Amino acid sequence: MRSVVVASLGVVTLAGLVAPPAYAVPDRAGGTSAGPAAVREPYPKQPVAEGYGGAVATVDLDASTAALKVLARGGNAMDAAVAGAATLGVTEPFSAGLTGGGFIVYYDARHRKVTTIDGRETAPRAMTSGVFEGLSFDEAVTSGLSAGVPGSVAQWDLALRRYGTIPLKQALRPAIETAEKGFTVDQTFHDQVQQNAARFADFTSTAALYLPGGQPPAVGSVFRNPDLARTYRELGSRGPEWLYGGGLGREIVATVKRPPVRPGATRVVRPGLMELTDLRAYRALERPPTKIAYKGLDVYGMAPPSSGGSTVGEALKILEALPHVGLHEYLEASRLAFADRNAYVGDPAYVDVPLGQLLSDGFAKERACLIGPRAMPHPAAPGTPDGSYGPCPSPSGSPSASAADASAAAVPAAPGEKPEGPETTHLVVTDRWGDVAAYNITIEQTGGNGIVVPGRGVLLNNELTDFTFGPAPGDPNLPAPGKRPRSSMAPTIVLKGGKPFLAVGSPGGATIITTVLQILVNRLDFGMSLPDAIAAPRASQRNTATTQAEQAFIGRYGEQLTALGHTLSLAPGPPVGEIGAATGLEFLGGGRIQAVAEPARRGGGSALVLSPAPGKAG
């Protein structure tokens, strides 16, 4: 996202532009190695890069640079993913941070397996199903009540201990350097502060950091966050327990329970429920991924409490059951998958999620029966993933309408979708050994709950507003003590013949799912290159009356889709008319990697590779 005035060079060549390595790193055999040498900066900001030895794509050049430096010094993909995520907490602080959470999907090349690490925030033990009843979404967001128990630091620690080669203290160094030296404010950073200026101004700690002189930082100015640098440095020295029950945890709990509201502010800011015991009880979890077969490929995603893997996977299985795949079919498959997501997916520790059936061939074929030549009636009812599936009913009138009406009569419609926030961020990284990380990290809404922990330079999350507000009896996503709210984050890795082929993900709240799905359909069904699949105009159907879309999509496809019964409206953003900000990798064969970021959305992203030629990265 950061603005950098540098001519595009196409690739980042590290070989030959060397200095002594900053530190030694463990090698794959367990010894230590200086690794490839550090590199000269600046790097070009570019949406596409191809090369060898390792690659990274994020929304931000500083974060991509941090991750690439870790790779250049001999670190692996997990090391680089954590370093990149921590740096995004500096340069993308309204989307990510150490007080947030996230999901990692990881391909371990040594063991040829895909695994995931769940760093989703949890509800405090004092949380009940009726906590948000009667509150508007805006009232709930800007409060201590919305802050979930942070998961990111525990996730980083678990990820590095199980799959990394460097300690957390080392992984935090690039983020510390960026926070101390500062970075150039671009239009997106300025606009995100401006969008939040009214609520930021109501908290003394937030206003002091993000509204210097009462105004958002100017585009082109250098923004520094010494408090965050100090926090990261202490975290590296003291370890995760400093947050999970120690001094930093006490500061976070104090902020949640007594938000630093500006004297004279008229906003009603409700205190939160978090206690130090909630932090002590938190655990990041390693979970099996979701997995489906699609067009001869294996598609891996994030299992519940994220709905990303299940919903993307179900929609792909529905599409595979159809004789033809076009944009109409993409929208209808997404509509059906969202109906099932809303009805069945929640935290598996609290809800019996029928994941195997949701991703089964039989259920997909039954759901595909509902897709006809016209858009189905709204809302689509959820299916019955019970393992008993029959053939499509005989046509009577409109195939889509008759089958959909029968389904709606059999199963009550799921509750409507709640707002999830347009933000979050995503990165992808791979190393010389073939490990791959796809990583969504978030504090939920743009700017989280709006409250900076005094003296710590970090915003709190508002992740608990991802729960269904209720009353909604039987909803799988109602709040409960210790429960993880349902997420839409969908970091995805695709294997071909057992080896990495694609990795992709995006921010965007519930539109994450449709963005990832559309990119996969663009690449695998429509034959686009990965850069074109990511750059293509987007539409998002989430079992809603209208399909949200970008203006370019409406202009190009609106007339033909409207003729099929679809109703399109401009995506509300912010920014208006923009959906997602994806990053991806494609493995082109012979060790060559293509890293891809957005050419324009969210100010454009950053793709970097370690070397333009084989054998020069290390």
As annotated, the active-site residues are 424
Tokens standing for residue 479: 């709040």
- One-letter amino acid at 597 equals A
Residues 66 and 303: their CA atoms lie apart, in Å, by: 29
Q: Which residues contact 389 (CB under 8 A, 6 or more apart)?
A: 362, 363, 365, 366
Which residues lie below 8 Å from residue 69, measured CB to CB, with a gap of 6+?
38, 39, 83, 174
Closest CA to 409 of 376, 382, 388, 434: 382
Q: Looking at the DSSP assignment, which residues form a beta bridge with residue 52?
A: 611
The tokens for 207 are 């206003």
Helices (H) and strands (E) counted in the chain, each on its own, are 20, 22
Q: Give the separation between CA 130 and CA 356, rounded to whole angstroms.
A: 31
Q: Which of 424, 441, 530 is nearest to 105 (CA)?
A: 441
Ordered DSSP codes for 338-365 = HHHHHHH-S-TTTS---HHHHT-HHHHH
Measured CA distances, 380 to 354, 385, 407, 434, 567 (Å):
19, 15, 8, 41, 15
Question: Which strand (E) or helix (H) includes residue 404?
Answer: helix 399-410
| Residues in CB range of 434: below 8 A, 6 or more apart | 107, 109, 499, 500
Token digits for 406?
A: 């029968």
The Cα 19–Cα 50 span in angstroms is 23
- Give burial (CB, 10 Å; 0-12/13-18/19+) of 26: middle
| H-helix segments, 55-200 | 61-72, 77-91, 137-141, 152-163, 168-171, 173-181, 187-195, 197-200
C-alpha span between 593 and 596 (Å, rounded): 10
SS3 label, residue 251: helix
C-alpha triplet 90, 508, 91: angle, nearest 5°:
10
Among residues 272, 315, 332, 237, the alpha carbon closest in space to that of 126 is found at 272
